[in-house]
Structure 1
Amino acid sequence: MIKEAIAKVVQKENLTEKEAIDVMTEIMTGQATESQIASFITALRMKGETIDEITGCAKVMREHSTKIKVLKHAVDIDRDEINIDWETIVDTCGTGGDKTKTFNVSTATAFVVAGAGVVVAKHGNRAVSSKCGSADVLEELGINLELPSEKVEECINKIGIGFLYAPLLHSAMKFAIGPRRQIGIRTIFNILGPLTNPAGANAQVLGVYSADLTETVAFVLKNLGSKSAYVVHGIDAIDEISITGKTQISELKNGVIKTYTVKPEDFGLKKAKVDDIAGGDAKENAGIILDILSGKKGPKRDIVLLNAAAVLTAAGKSESFKEGIELAERSIDLGKALKKLEELKKHCGK
C-alpha cells in the first residue's frame, strides 16, 4: 500500500482516511522500509497534510500506543471506571519546530494547571524546536522518565499529574525514528505527537508551528473525539499562545470550530519581546520554571499564566481566559503549582 500511496501523494493527490490508516499500519508494524517511510513523509509534507490523512494516521498511532489507565475511582459507567470529580484530563503539548527558542512554556503550564485542580497527563519528548524538550527539562528537574506505565498511572491518579514519555509509550514509532532523523525536516509525525496522548486526554491546548495548521488540527481533534480544545499559533512562529503579539486560535467546543485572534492586552497582560521569553539548555530552562513556580514575576510568568488560562478554560475549570489567569495566579502564589512539582519528584523522581 505504501508504494501506491507514495505515487499518489507525489502527484499531489490526497489520501482517504482509510488509505492513511493502511499506510500508517504498514509503518507501525515494520512492513515499510526506511526508504519508503522517508519518501512518504517527505512527499506528504510537500503536498500538505489533510484532515483525513492526519486523522487516519493518528488513529493508528493511538491504537499502537501503550495505554495509560487513569481515573479508576468511584464510579463505573458503561464499563469505564471514571472518577466523577476527575473526569476531564488535559494535555499541554505542542508540535515543536517553532523558531523562537522559547523556554518550556507548556511544561511550566502543566504544573500550574495541576495546582489549580485539573488532572494533567503531560505528553512529550526530547527537543525538537530548541535545545531542550519537555523530557529534557523534566529530567533536569529530577523526574524519572524511564517509568513503567503502571507507575505513571499511579502518579496521575494519586497526585493529579504525570509525564507520558513518548518513546516508552509509542514503541511502534521505532520504525520511523531513522527516517525522521535522516531527513531532518518537520513531518506529519510532529503533528501526530500531540494528537496521540496515551491517557486519552479529551481537553487540550495544542500549539502548532504554522498558522495554516490551526483549523486543520482542530478538525482532526474533533474527528478523534476531543470535547474541548484550543489549537494555537503565536506570532513570530511561537507554538504557544503568545505575549509578543497576536495569536491565531482555532477553538473546538461542543462540536463547533471557530477561528479568531487574540493579543496579550486583551487579558490585561503587557506585550513582550521575543527575547523576554527565550530559553536555553535544560539546566537554564529548569531554573526558569522553578523561578516561575516560586512566584517570580515578569514576561515568562505572563506567558505561562495565559497558556494555563487556556487549558483551564478548555477543561471547564474557568469560564474565560481572564478567570483562568486569576486561577493560574492563585495556583502559583499559594504555592500549589510548586507543590505539584515536589509531589511528582517524590513519587516519580530519579
Structure 2
Amino acid sequence: MSLAPYIHAMGRGPGRARSLTRDEARDAMGQILRGEAAPEAVGALLMLMRYRGESAAEIAGFAEAIRETLPDWTGPAPALDWPSYAAGRSRGLPWFLLSARLVAMAGEPVLLHGWNSHQSPVASVRDALAGAGIAVAQDMQDAAALLERDKIAYLPLENFAPRALDLLRLREVLGLRSAINTVLRVLNPGGAGGSVQGVFHPPYRELQSDACALLGLEAMTVIKGGGGEFERHPGKDIALFGLRSGQAWTAQAPERLDVTRRLADAAPDPADLGRLWSGEIDDPFATEIVLGTAELALDTAGIAQPGARAADLWVRRHRARAA
C-alpha cells in the first residue's frame, strides 16, 4: 500500500477530485507514522489537502491514527483538554494560562499540550509557564501524575508525539501550514470529556467543531482567539462555536470592557503572569482577559454560572497552593 491512491483521489482535477474518507485518512496517516510513505508523497498529500481545504472526516481520521501511536493515559481523564499550537505573532502575553489555572482551582483537571515556543516574537507560552505556576510534564505518565497533584499540567508535543511534531515542522520546508495544525487541536491525548480550542482563521471554527463531533467529544468551545489561542478579547463580542452534549452549538459572548486596543503588549514580561496572580501588579485589561477566558472554559466544563464562578475563584486565588 502507498499514498498514491489517496493523492490520485484528491488531485484528479476539477469535477473529479474528492476529499478522503475518514477510513482513508486514518490509513494514510498510519502509513506516514509507520515510515512507509515517501517524503515526496507526504508533502504532496498535505499540500493537496491544503489546496482543497481540509474536511472534518480527514481531520478525524488523521487524529485517530495519531492517537493509536500514543502511550496509554495512566490516570483519570482530564476534565478539559486545552491545546496550544498557535503561532502567536499577533499577541502579547499568554494570559489564558491563568484562566486554565482558575479552571483547575475549580476542581476540573486541565491538560494543556502544545508546541509553539519557537514561534512567538514576544513571549512564548513555555516562557510563561513558570510565572503561571504550571508544571511541565516529561511524558504522558508524568502529565497524569501532575494532574493528580496540581489539577493542571502542560505536556509538550515532543514529549508524547514526536512523529507528529516532525509532521508539524514540515511547515518550515513547505512554507505553509498543513492539516496537522488542525489535527493537533482536536487530538485530545488525555481523553478529556471537554475541549477548548482557538483558531486564527474563522472558517476553522466549524471544521474543528465538526471533527470533534466525529471523534465523540461531548463538550467543546472554539473561538477566534488571541493569536489563534483560546483566549478572548474582553473588548469584543465573541462568536462561540462547538458542541454541547455532543451536538452542534453556537452562542455569542458580549464584550466585557468598552475598550479598543490589541492584546499585544508594548514590552511584555512573562513574569507578569505571576505578578498579576499574586496581586503585585494591577492590570484591569489583563484581568478581564483571564476572567472572560476562564468563564468560557468553565462553561465548557459544565460549571454552573461560570462567570460568577470565575470571579469568585479570582478573588480566592491567593489561597491556592503554589504550584
Taking structure 1 as the reference length, what is the TM-score of the superposition?
Answer: 0.80
Alpha carbons of structure 1 residues 212 and 33: separation in structure 2 relative to 1, 3 Å: same
- Structure 1: which 5+ residue stretches go unaligned? 72-86, 344-350
Alpha carbons of structure 1 residues 244 and 102: separation in structure 2 relative to 1, 3 Å: farther
Deviation at 1:130, TM superposition (A): 2.5
Question: Does the alignment pair 1:115 with 2:101?
Answer: no
Match of 1:78 in 2: none
The answer to whether the Cα contact below 8 Å between 2:221 and 2:300 also exists between their aligned partners in 1 is yes
2:274 to 290, 298, 302: 290
Deviation at 1:46, TM superposition (A): 1.4
- What CA distance in whole angstroms lies between the structure 1 residues aligned with 2:278 and 2:130? 19
Deviation at 1:288, TM superposition (A): 3.0
Deviation at 1:57, TM superposition (A): 0.5
The answer to whether the Cα contact below 8 Å between 2:100 and 2:110 also exists between their aligned partners in 1 is yes
Match of 2:287 in 1: 301
Alpha carbons of structure 1 residues 40 and 105: separation in structure 2 relative to 1, 3 Å: farther
Alpha carbons of structure 1 residues 142 and 95: separation in structure 2 relative to 1, 3 Å: closer
1:102 to 82, 92, 102: 92
Deviation at 1:146, TM superposition (A): 6.1
Match of 2:296 in 1: 310
- What CA distance in whole angstroms lies between the structure 1 residues aligned with 2:229 and 2:145? 33
Match of 1:36 in 2: 41
Match of 2:75 in 1: 70
Deviation at 1:313, TM superposition (A): 0.9
User: Quick one: percent identity of the two aligned structures?
Assistant: 21
Instruction: Name the stretch that deviates more: 284-293 or 108-117.
Output: 284-293
- Provide the alpha-carbon RMSD of the alignment: 2.7
- Structure 2: which 5+ residue stretches go unaligned? none
- What CA distance in whole angstroms lies between the structure 1 residues aligned with 2:168 and 2:244? 34
- What CA distance in whole angstroms lies between the structure 1 residues aligned with 2:84 and 2:139? 24
Match of 2:31 in 1: 26
Match of 2:212 in 1: 221
Taking structure 2 as the reference length, what is the TM-score of the superposition?
Answer: 0.86
Instruction: Name the stretch that deviates more: 167-176 or 47-56.
Output: 167-176
Which amino acid counterpart does residue 51 of structure 1 have in structure 2?
A: A
The answer to whether the Cα contact below 8 Å between 1:101 and 1:280 also exists between their aligned partners in 2 is no
Give CA deviations for 1:91-134 in whole Å, capped at 9, x if unaligned: 22244146522321332221121122211111122337623443
Match of 1:57 in 2: 62
Pairs within 5 Å for 1:159-198 = 159-173=150-164, 175-177=166-168, 179-198=170-189
- What CA distance in whole angstroms lies between the structure 2 residues aligned with 1:5 and 1:285? 47
Match of 1:254 in 2: 245
- What CA distance in whole angstroms lies between the structure 2 residues aligned with 1:164 and 1:34? 28
Deviation at 1:187, TM superposition (A): 1.4
